[in-house]
Structure 1
Amino acid sequence: MTKKRRTLTDPPRARYEYRVWGRQRKARKLLEKLASDVTEERVKDCYLLVADSSWNAKVRDNTLKVKQLIAEDKGFERWSADRPRTADDAPSPFDDLFETLQLDRPQRGKSYDLYDAVSRLDSDPNTQVVFVKKKRRRYTVGDLRAEVTDIKIVETSEVLHTLQIEGQNLDQLIRLRKKLGLRDEPNLAVHEALAD
């Protein structure tokens, strides 16, 4: 039986994203002033890096989140996101990874250790695994969201600094990017930065 290659559709959850790297001190200070709401969080992610950079996949809280790049416009990337619950729901090649990592175990109430499961991928030359810890501040600016994140790569202890703006309305995002002074900064998603 041949598996068909599943792609993500363009659901209402698709959004534009613009991520820049470095401390971006001026933009961070301005976000604090512009934001109507600010929250902080700490999370641990396991990125599953594959050769095709139009896919961004990570495991958080034993749940796989897969994003697919569906468009680029005016320097912004538009990503569609999904959280498959079974290997059959996951797009290729993440269906095989879902199965190998046994990501359905926690859903069935069985004990699960992601670090142990990832050791099964050591022989897979097509997948690189990167564990990170994130300290993040999230901002609400009108209908848009922004975040400032410090990403610590577990294996090397290197810390990366990033700022992202995201939302549905491209015109509003372009205005916010300009206001933050980020217009000339390259847009680079987390999984691509980790692959460098």
Structure 2
Amino acid sequence: MQFDRESKGFSFSKEGPLDMRMDPHEELTAREVINEWSEKKLGEIFREFGEEARWRRAAKIIVEARGRGSIETTKQLADLIAQSLGRGFKKKLHPATLIFQALRICVNRELEAIQKALPKALEVLSCGGRIGVMSFHGLEHRIAKAIFREGATVPAQNKYKEYVQKPTLRLLSKKPQVPTDEEVRFNPRCRSAKLRFAEKIR
């Protein structure tokens, strides 16, 4: 699995290069983002893609640190974040968790991918076909929820009291499925996963 390979640079618990590319043919790496992007741009991705409350502080300390020498490895970055930010409000998370999430999403354009792929999947799904979407963090959860809800919503009536469109989806459960405690013990990475199902009805 890519996340377990030190050479990919996804994990802050293992020493590796700041890469984070799912596709090695892509040009942008986490190293380039960390060492070359402005403090403002770093702050923006930490806030938007990591939902890190201390995004300004994180961006500032990275820019200050790289002024003393480039940041090349996952451990360098993780240690820098841990020493500078500490545990904060989310004490169960390593201080670098949300920063690494933001970098991975940015480098791989993950949100753009789901925003494009899910509507296309629904478009080619046959009537009566069912689709399941598993998301792993709040940003993905909101996108999947919004797209499913849009397809399952009855549009407002026009002035002739006729529905211009009809729903194309039927949600198969009111709430997404989440892992059990036993599943989380077996696979800790699944702890934030949510699984949604829908059926195409027209």
Confirm or deny a common fold (TM above 0.5). Answer: no
TM-score by length of 2: 0.30
TM-score normalised by length of structure 1:
0.30
Question: Going by fraction, where is strand more abundant, 1 or 2?
Answer: 1
